[in-house]
Amino acid sequence: MLPLVQWLWPREAAMTRLLGQFVRAESPSYDKAAVDRFGRIVAAEWKRRGARVTLVRQRERGDHVRAEWNPPRNRARGQILVLGHLDTVYGLGTLARMPFRLARGRAYGPGAFDMKGGLVIALFAVDALAAACRIPEKRIVFLWTSDEEIGSGTSRTLIESVARRSDAVLVLEPAAGLDGRVKTARKGVGEIEIIATGRAAHAGLNPEDGINAIEEIALQIARVSRWNQPSRGITVNAGLMEGGTRTNVIPENARVLVDVRAVRAGDMGALERKFRALRPILRGAKLQIRGGFNRPPMERRSSAALYAKARALAKEMGFTLGEAYVGGGSDGNFTAALGVPTLDGLGAVGEGAHSPNENIVIRALPERAALLATLLATI
Ligand SMILES: [Zn+2]
């Protein structure tokens, strides 16, 4: 175990340099040209390492990059999928006010933590394995997708089909906390829209003829908010609403978008059914319910064995690897739901994802790469 991490320690500066290159290639999910540009940079790095690289072309979103690393002499017995994403939540031009910079042991910049740091870790993990002639038994497929931050609409089927043929999935999303915990459970996530239709009328002349859609939505929000059960891991959050036209008009239309999350798959279905069963409260109002859960939960049992293994390997390398249960979803939710062992949060250590302060801990880069490399070599 030791040689891998020892080989990686002196590569901290090289890893940081590559991270700088990656962060400077902005890649907002909605900008195909930009994501494609960044995808080509990542693809070139993999080709240089002898991986077989395929671009999975997309019309609207960026192309996905699939890199298969199957070292010579290796008669693969099984397959490991390593998952990550190319896209970030930051619009083009963010770099101007949030440049890539190093300060006090941290590297800052849009997407440094979520999750370009993870992409760098994967490349150096493979470098370390090659340098140490540690050839994994399994074929390793790295899948870098282009639309994780916007729900993985074009990548989900691809992820699931590769995952089905894999014995394990390792996800390079950011670690939890500055102690670098991996993520062993994630909530299922969904979005439900409640649309109310009332009847417009003059608020002063004939209010009795009106049906107030905003009031209907308000009453529905009060109702669904009672479905929150934090102790059971169920959250319901009315996060965005709109309605009405003018103050002197009884509003005919209003709607609310509700974020829903649950730990258990069963609770997800039950919650969706409760939403679908909503009926209007005001006489004459109409309701329409759209949407639902789009990411199943990642339940801890799909991570338990991989986590135990990673924890033991980390211990041999001299550090403690903790675990975290988080409310946010990732592509690991899809693979875990298929019953494929999945371990998430193996990427960079840092903080401030999706914020102007996003940064990673530089010193942790070699250690994380060593952990990933060791997992690849021993799973
Ligand atoms: Zn991410």
Distance 342 CA to ligand 1 centre (A): 15
Distance 288 CA to ligand 1 centre (A): 32
113 in Cβ contact with 357 (< 8 Å): no
Q: Tokens in use for 41? A: 């940079």
Residues 338-358 pLDDT 10s:
999 999 999 999 999 999 999
Distance 91 CA to ligand 1 centre (A): 15
Using left for φ > 0, alpha for ψ between -120 and 50, and beta otherwise, residue 111 falls in left
Distance 291 CA to ligand 1 centre (A): 23
Distance 378 CA to ligand 1 centre (A): 25
Closest CA to 108 of 369, 363, 361, 365: 361
Distance 353 CA to ligand 1 centre (A): 8
Q: Averaged over 219-241, what is the pLDDT? A: 96
The band of 1, judged by pLDDT with boundaries at 50, 70 and 90, is very low
- Report how far residue 210's alpha carbon sits from residue 223's, in angstroms, rounded to the nearest whole number: 22
Helix (H) / strand (E) containing 369: helix 364-378
Distance 194 CA to ligand 1 centre (A): 28
Distance 213 CA to ligand 1 centre (A): 37
Distance 329 CA to ligand 1 centre (A): 9
pTM here is 0.87
- Report how far residue 332's alpha carbon sits from residue 84's, in angstroms, rounded to the nearest whole number: 9
Residues 40-89 pLDDT 10s:
999 999 999 999 999 999 999 999 999 999 766 667 789 999 999 999 99
- Report how far residue 379's alpha carbon sits from residue 366's, in angstroms, rounded to the nearest whole number: 20
Is the pLDDT reported for residue 2 higher than 60? no
Residues 7-22 pLDDT 10s:
999 999 999 999 999 9
Distance 351 CA to ligand 1 centre (A): 12
Q: Averaged over 133-157, what is the pLDDT? A: 93
Distance 138 CA to ligand 1 centre (A): 26
Q: Tell me how far CA of residue 273 lies from CA of 277, 288, 290, in angstroms.
A: 6, 13, 12
Distance 2 CA to ligand 1 centre (A): 29
- Report how far residue 289's alpha carbon sits from residue 145's, in angstroms, rounded to the nearest whole number: 31
Distance 149 CA to ligand 1 centre (A): 6
Query: Mean pLDDT score of the chain, rounded to an integer?
Result: 95
Percent of the chain with pLDDT over 70: 98
Distance 148 CA to ligand 1 centre (A): 7
Distance 12 CA to ligand 1 centre (A): 22
Residues 78-88 pLDDT 10s:
999 999 999 99
Distance 249 CA to ligand 1 centre (A): 44
Distance 312 CA to ligand 1 centre (A): 26
Distance 341 CA to ligand 1 centre (A): 19
pLDDT attached to residue 49: 95
